[in-house]
């Protein structure tokens, strides 16, 4: 099931990633016992210290429980905890900006399609209100614009009607949130974000899922380009 760690970074994280993969593909199920520490040392070709560090991470993630004198067992969790676990795993893996934006494109481009199809009239009014607030703010407050941006994107996911997407988006924004406001420092990015939100909203209002999908994809691509142009030290934008 497992193989020697070939993870180019922290060895414990490499072990955690292998165990998480086996859980996600169903090879490890709730109640299953992990191999003993000595056996895992042999399988992963690492020291006992590395194994113990990996187990501590898994306990911290809520993935396993250590039973004194018995070993480590896979926990049974509900759907929301599974999503939180996924976000925590992404945090451990320290995914690149490109990888995180690939996930964001998958989530938001599908969410905007469902939003276009399922949004209530109240949802439409709320989205319109968020866009108007952004236009009124202009460039006066990077922090306020960042909050409005998150509100706009979260509202689209919420209006899609898919609760799993909602949970994924919350955790994804947490992962991306550390440097969100920095992207607004890019000259002209503030105004462009507001304008791009407006055209996405218009497609939603017109109930045109294909157009909404195209505009959301374009928006996220433009944000990624803005971050890249600002410098490799920037990790996220709006």
Between helix 209-230 and helix 189-205 the angle, nearest 10°, is 170
Same domain flag for 150 and 211: yes
Count of structural domains, the chain: 2
Task: Write the burial class of residue 10 (CB in 10 Å: 0-12 exposed, 13-18 middle, 19+ buried).
Answer: middle
Q: Which pLDDT value is given to residue 63?
A: 82
Q: Which pLDDT value is given to residue 234?
A: 39
Same domain flag for 32 and 144: no
* Structural element, H or E, at residue 67: strand 64-67
| Residue ending a domain, choose from 27, 46, 77 | 77
Quick one: DSSP state of residue 225? H
| Residue ending a domain, choose from 21, 50, 77 | 77
Domain harbouring 188, CATH code: 1.20.120.530
Q: Which pLDDT value is given to residue 28?
A: 87
Burial 113-129 (b: 16+ CB within 10 A, else e): bbbbeebeeebbebbee
Residue 60 belongs to what domain range? 11-77
Same domain flag for 188 and 71: no
How far the first Cα of the chain sits from its last, in Å, is 40
Between helix 189-205 and helix 142-160 the angle, nearest 10°, is 20
Same domain flag for 127 and 174: yes
Three-state DSSP state, 76: coil
Residue 169 resides in a domain: yes
Residue 63 resides in a domain: yes
Residue 86 resides in a domain: no
Q: Which pLDDT value is given to residue 195?
A: 93
Strand pairing class (71-74; 64-67): antiparallel
Q: Which pLDDT value is given to residue 235?
A: 38
Same domain flag for 117 and 65: no
Residue 1 resides in a domain: no
Same domain flag for 100 and 203: yes
Same domain flag for 201 and 116: yes
Domain harbouring 64, CATH code: 1.10.10.10
Which pLDDT tens digit goes with each residue over 6-26? 654 568 877 887 887 787 677
Residue 238 resides in a domain: no
Residue 183 resides in a domain: yes
Residue 237 resides in a domain: no
| Residue ending a domain, choose from 77, 108, 133 | 77
Q: Which pLDDT value is given to residue 116?
A: 97
Same domain flag for 45 and 155: no
Q: Which pLDDT value is given to residue 233?
A: 43
Residue 85 resides in a domain: no
Q: Hey, what are 117's tokens?
A: 């199809």
Same domain flag for 196 and 115: yes
Task: Please list the pLDDT of the chain residue by residue as tens digits (238 residues).
Answer: 677 776 545 688 778 878 877 876 778 888 999 999 999 999 999 999 989 988 987 887 678 899 988 999 998 765 555 555 555 555 545 456 677 788 889 999 999 999 999 999 999 999 999 999 988 876 556 667 777 888 899 999 999 999 888 888 877 776 665 445 455 555 567 788 889 999 999 999 999 999 999 999 999 998 888 766 655 443 344 4
Which pLDDT tens digit goes with each residue over 55-73? 987 887 678 899 988 999 9
pTM of the model: 0.60
Q: Which pLDDT value is given to residue 117?
A: 96
Same domain flag for 106 and 36: no
Same domain flag for 114 and 199: yes
Q: Which pLDDT value is given to residue 92?
A: 47
Q: Which pLDDT value is given to residue 81?
A: 55
Same domain flag for 56 and 133: no
């Amino acid at each position: 099931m497992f193989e020697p760690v070939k993870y180019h970074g922290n060895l414990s994280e490499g072990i955690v990633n292998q165990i998480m993969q086996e859980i996600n593909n169903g090879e490890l199920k709730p109640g299953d016992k992990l191999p003993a520490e000595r056996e895992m040392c042999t399988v992963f070709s690492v020291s006992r210290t590395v194994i113990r560090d990996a187990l501590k991470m898994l306990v911290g993630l809520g993935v396993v429980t250590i039973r004194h004198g018995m070993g480590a067992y896979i926990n049974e969790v509900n759907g929301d905890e599974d999503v939180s676990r996924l976000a925590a795993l992404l945090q451990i893996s320290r995914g690149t900006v490109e990888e995180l934006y690939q996930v964001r494109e998958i989530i938001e481009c599908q969410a905007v399609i469902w939003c276009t199809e399922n949004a209530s009239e109240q949802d439409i009014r709320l989205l319109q209100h968020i866009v108007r607030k952004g236009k009124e703010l202009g460039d006066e407050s990077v922090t306020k614009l960042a909050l409005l941006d998150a509100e706009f994107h979260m509202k689209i996911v919420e209006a899609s009607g898919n609760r799993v997407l909602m949970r994924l988006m919350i955790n994804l924004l947490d992962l991306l949130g550390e440097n969100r406001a920095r992207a607004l420092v890019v000259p002209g990015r503030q105004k462009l974000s507001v304008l791009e939100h407006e055209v996405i909203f218009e497609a939603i209002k017109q109930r045109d899922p294909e157009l909404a999908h195209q505009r959301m994809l374009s928006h996220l691509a433009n944000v990624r380009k803005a971050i890249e142009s600002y410098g490799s030290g920037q990790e996220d934008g709006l």
